[in-house]
Chain A
Amino acid sequence: GENVEQHPSTLSVQEGDSAVIKCTYSDSASNYFPWYKQELGKRPQLIIDIRSNVGEKKDQRIAVTLNKTAKHFSLHITETQPEDSAVYFCAAITLSGGYNKLIFGAGTRLAVHP
């Protein structure tokens, strides 16, 4: 079945540094890739997404890149701040053929130290 692997499981950076989280997916038909941020005790919050017809998307300090050939996608956070500390989940979805479920990675716990 579909599978999404996410690395690293934990990431610790100093404030102002960049953070990169990487995911790989197994279903070559996947064509939509959202990223969610989840703070402790709160709901997953959609922070950025990318579709398969685009290689890169940027929104202020966060960016996502997609390599369809390698079935890799990554989240890049620049100029990290303590409030970026959270668990980040990548996910993949197939938007056609009746499949509409998100398959999540296991998450990356990001800690940004002042």
Chain B
Amino acid sequence: DTGVSQDPRHKITKRGQNVTFRCDPISEHNRLYWYRQTLGQGPEFLTYFQNEAQLEKSRLLSDRFSAERPKGSFSTLEIQRTEQGDSAMYLCASSNPNEQYFGPGTRLTVT
């Protein structure tokens, strides 16, 4: 499968724990995006990388959230001290340059 992949697909965690998600973009894509989607809503932009540089962060991304793309390939999104409001689907997308293709998402449930 040469599409965008994400791991894990599902994560259940207790409030206050830290979680980390991984995204592997399409190999030739230099742009990578993270979005959050809650039930009945469209995806909301979180952050954007061009190669290894994080060029934009949404105001939705509190200081508990951090994202990296150290070698310009895969990316990780970490949420520290999770809260119940963090429960959502976290989607990754990649593009080169414009058409964005999404991964299957990581569904986070915070109990």
Contacts and interface: CB of A to CB of B under 8 A. Distances in A.
A104 B42 contact: yes
Interface of B: 31, 33, 35, 40-45, 48, 50, 55-56, 58, 91, 97-105
B48 A100 contact: yes
A98 B42 contact: no
Identify whether the interface residues of A are mostly helix, strand, loop, or mixed.
strand
Chain A contact residues (Cβ within 8 angstroms of B): what range? 20 to 34
Nearest to A104: B42
Contacts of A43: 91, 102-105
Given A95-B98, A99-B56, A101-B56, 15 more contacts: A43-B103, A89-B42, A93-B98, A98-B56, A100-B33, A100-B48, A100-B55, A101-B33, A102-B33, A102-B43, A102-B45, A102-B100, A104-B43, A107-B40, A107-B41
Interface string A44-56: 1110010000000
Contacts of B50: 100
